[in-house]
Amino acid sequence: MAMPPIPPLPEASRWLLWPLAVRADDAVLGRGELAKLRTALARNRHADACREGTAFLATRMQEAAHLFYAPVRKDANLSAISTYLQRWVRGKAPVLVLAGEVFAPAPGLRDAIATSCAKAGRWDDAEAPLRAAGMLDGASRVRQAILWLRWLRGGDLRSALWLVRDDPGVVAGLLRAFVGPADVRERLFGRARREADTQTLRRSIDALAAHADAYAKELR
């Protein structure tokens, strides 16, 4: 049986499932090097923001690969390494953070790139900055975002649901509700309604619940 496509959710309901938040006051987004990204975000130019953020991060990672992962470590440029760390990794507004033994984008930059790329429909570019974040704070939210992206771009929700199997958050619960039995869907959406703090949010949850019921029927 073919996997049914993601239902045509209203915009407010679609992004109700997105667990990452872009904060304009995040210190990393205030850096001068990210002025073009910051402007694109402020103007809701999602494709431009995706392009700017992705290109900036790719350049930083290429530089890191050259400095830190060269095949001949005895020729390491210690001065250049120190300069790189001071500029991009240390200080009050780091661009990169360490995730295990690799660099990952700082959460503020990561979320800005992932969100803008997702809204531009560039699913691979949206997921790329999330992949190294499993060892960082907010890993649960990152897993939820990866699952949502894979579903948005036409993947099988059920096959990737392990990503949020044990996550306690409301977003993870709503994602699980789409493939759960009726009593589970009712419980999870009921919880979300109780925790909603505005009427607009409750209407979005109601719309999402209706689509979840229709989606579940397609799975039978």
What pLDDT is recorded for position 115? 95
Q: DSSP letters along 75-130, please?
A: G--HHHHHHHIIIIISSSS-SEEEETTEEEE-HHHHHHHHHHHHHTT-HHHHHGGG
Burial of 92 (0-12, 13-18, 19+ CB in 10 A): exposed
Entry pTM: 0.87
- Closest CA relative to residue 174, chosen from 156, 157, 154: 157
- Closest CA relative to residue 85, chosen from 63, 57, 100, 109: 63
What pLDDT is recorded for position 11? 74
pLDDT tens over the chain, length 220 residues: 455 566 667 777 778 889 998 998 999 999 999 999 999 999 999 999 999 999 999 999 999 988 887 665 566 788 999 999 999 999 889 999 988 778 999 999 999 999 999 999 999 999 999 988 766 666 889 999 999 998 888 777 888 888 888 888 888 888 888 888 899 899 999 988 998 888 888 888 888 888 888 888 777 6
Count CB-CB contacts under 10 A for residue 194. 9
